[in-house]
Amino acid sequence: MTTGRVLGLILIVACACEGKGTARDDAKTDASPTAPADTPPTPGSIDPLIQLPAERPTELAAACQQVVDAYEGYMDRVSPEGSDERAEWDKKRAAQLQMTQILCTKNAILDVAACQQYAFDHAGPEHRDELGPIMRRCMEKFGGARPD
C-alpha cells in the first residue's frame, strides 16, 4: 500500500467516523447509473459486507478490539509477504491500528464497530480501495444518532 493510500485511508476513516458523506454518494460509485434497483451486487461490491455479524460484543472495548484485529487480518491477507505493499503496511501498522482503535472508541456505537469488523473479516483483495467507503457505509447504516 502506498503512503498516499494509507494516508488517504486515515482521512476517509476520520470522515466516516465523523458521519460525513452520504449513502447516495456511495451508491453513485458502487452502481452504474443504468443498473436497475433490483440488480444483485456486482463482484467486488461492498453491499454484501455492510451487515452485522450473528454474534456481537456487548462492550465497546471488545467491539473496537475486534475491529482492530479484523483490519489487521485483512491487511495481512491482501498484502503478500515480501511485497512492497506489505513492507509499507508493516511500517505503518502500529499507527494505523492505533488510529483505528481511537476512531472506533470515539465513535462509540457498537453496531458500527460490529459492521466494520464483519466487513474486514469478509472483504477480499478486490475491496482494497473500498475500505473508506466500507467504514462510511457501516456508519450510515448502523450509526443512528451520534452520542455527544
* CA-only gyration radius of the chain, Å: 15
Q: Please indicate, yes or no, if residue 44 is contained in any of the structural domains.
A: no
For the chain, give the mean pLDDT: 76
Q: How far is Cα 79 from Cα 136, in angstroms, rounded to an integer?
A: 23
Q: 49-104, pLDDT tens digit by residue?
A: 999 999 988 999 999 999 999 999 999 999 989 999 999 999 999 999 999 999 99
Whether the CB-CB separation of 7 and 127 falls below 8 Å is answered with no
Q: Does 114 map to a domain? A: yes
Q: What is the pLDDT of residue 145?
A: 53
The pTM of this model reads: 0.69
74 occurs within a structural domain: yes
Reported as a single tens digit per residue, the pLDDT across 121-138 is: 999 998 988 888 999 999
**Number of other residues whose CB lies within 10 A of the CB of residue 92:** 18
**Looking at residue 107, what is its pLDDT?**
87
Domain with 136, as residue range(s), is: 3-28+58-142
Based on the structure, what is the number of domains in the chain?
1
Angle of CA points 113, 55, 57, to nearest 5°: 50
